[in-house]
């Protein structure tokens, strides 16, 4: 019985093409990046913050008590200002998906800005402001806890020839 023919070897890499990516090589982990599990939890937590901010928006509209960033229903704010509580959490979620370095620190800064947005409503609609402040605190907890999952020591890049 004859053996099946052997497959030909793969072609050699092109000379001088250092940008060629080998799909079987796992990229080095960099200092400040999150481990895969922490990155998943960090991203899901911030996606939940986005959903909760949307719930605050809808609740404000349904009960008729306007936050400072939404404005009254008869005179709503410009859409750029209405979306203010969403810019930061969307940026942090993109940072988690894209595996940006030091994204928990970005999350801490955005959580503090989210709490500041909620503090602006304390004189207008106290209970909605409390929910916004709790969301800022939850976002701060998510980001602070994610500091544990950051890589502290990176792998040195391979010397190029």
Its domain, for residue 59, covers 36-149
Mean per-residue pLDDT for 149-158? 69
At 5, the pLDDT band (50, 70, 90 cuts) reads confident
Give domain status of residue 55, yes or no: yes
Q: Is residue 152 very low, low, confident or very high in pLDDT (cuts 50, 70, 90)? A: confident
Does 66 fall in a domain?
Answer: yes
Residue 94 has pLDDT above 90, yes or no: yes
In a domain, 17, yes or no: no
Q: Per the domain annotation, does 10 fall within a domain?
A: no
Report whether 130 contacts 115 (CB < 8 A): no
Q: Quick check: is 27 in a domain?
A: no
Average pLDDT over residues 129-141: 97
Please give the tally of structural domains in the chain: 1
Is the per-residue pLDDT at 3 higher than 90?
A: no
pLDDT of residue 124: 87
pLDDT of residue 132: 96
Q: In the structure, what pLDDT confidence band is assigned to residue 26 with cuts at 50, 70 and 90?
A: low
Q: What is the mean pLDDT of residues 17-41?
A: 75
124 lies in some domain:
yes
Of 95, 92, 77, the C-alpha closest to 136 is 92
Position 144 in a domain: yes
């Amino acid at each position: 019985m004859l053996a099946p023919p052997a497959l030909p070897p793969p072609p050699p890499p092109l000379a001088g093409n250092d940008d060629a990516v080998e799909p079987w090589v796992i990229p080095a982990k960099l200092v400040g990046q999150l481990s895969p599990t922490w990155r998943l939890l960090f991203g899901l937590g911030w996606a939940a913050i986005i959903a909760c901010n949307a719930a605050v928006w809808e609740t404000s509209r349904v009960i008729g008590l306007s936050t400072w960033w939404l404005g009254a229903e008869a005179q709503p704010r410009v859409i750029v200002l209405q979306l203010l509580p969403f810019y930061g959490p969307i940026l942090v979620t993109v940072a988690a998906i894209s595996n940006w370095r030091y994204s928990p620190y970005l999350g801490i800064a955005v959580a503090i800005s989210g709490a500041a947005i909620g503090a602006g409503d304390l004189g207008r609609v106290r209970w909605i402001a409390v929910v916004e402040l709790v969301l800022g605190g939850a976002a701060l907890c998510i980001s602070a806890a994610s500091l544990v999952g950051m890589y502290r020591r990176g792998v040195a890049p391979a010397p190029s020839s």
